Amino acid sequence: MAASIAPECNETKEQYDTCFLKWYSEKYLRGNTKSNDCDELFSKYKTCLHKALKEKGMDSMLDDARKSSSETDAEFLKKS
Amino acid sequence: MKFFENKFTYDYSFPAVSLAYFLRYPNPYSRHVLTTDVIDRYVDPSTQRLHTTRLHLKKSKIPAGILKLLPKGMGGSDNSGQSYILETTIVDPREGWMETESRNMEWTGILSVVEKQRYQRLHADNDVRALDGLSIDQRAEQTTVRTTVTFKSRLGQGKLLGRKKADHTEGEDEAPKKGFFSSLSTAGIQRTIELIGVSRTRDAVLKSKEGMNVVLERLRSGGIVGVLEGMRRDREALGLDKALARV
Query: pLDDT by residue (tens digit) across A13-65?
Result: 999 999 999 999 999 999 999 888 999 999 999 999 999 999 988 888 788 77
Chain B nearest-CA distance from A66, in A, is 8
Cα–Cα distance for residue pair B43/A45, rounded to 1 Å: 18
Average pLDDT over residues B173-193: 63
Give B166's pLDDT tier (boundaries 50, 70, 90): very low
- Count of H-run helices and E-run strands, chain B: 6, 7
- Judged by DSSP in three states, A66 sits in helix
CB atoms within 10 A of CB A80: 12
Which residue of B35, B84, B132 is the best one to mutate when testing the A interface, meaning the one whose CB has the most A CBs within 10 A? Answer: B35
User: Inter-chain contact B53–A24, Cβ cutoff 8 Å?
Assistant: no
Q: Does A74 touch chain B (CB under 8 A)?
A: no
Chain A residue closest to B93 (CA)? A29
Give B113's pLDDT tier (boundaries 50, 70, 90): confident
User: Inter-chain contact A4–B37, Cβ cutoff 8 Å?
Assistant: yes
Q: Considering only the beta carbons, identify the residue of B35, B39, B48 that sits closest to A3.
A: B35
CB atoms within 10 A of CB A33: 20
Cα–Cα distance for residue pair B69/B54, rounded to 1 Å: 32
ipTM of this complex prediction, to 2 decimal places: 0.85
Is 3.50.50.60 the CATH number for B2-246? no
Cα–Cα distance for residue pair B70/B177, rounded to 1 Å: 10
Average pLDDT over residues B27-37: 90
Query: pLDDT by residue (tens digit) across B72-107?
Result: 655 544 556 788 899 999 999 999 999 999 998 766
Q: Does A23 touch chain B (CB under 8 A)?
A: no
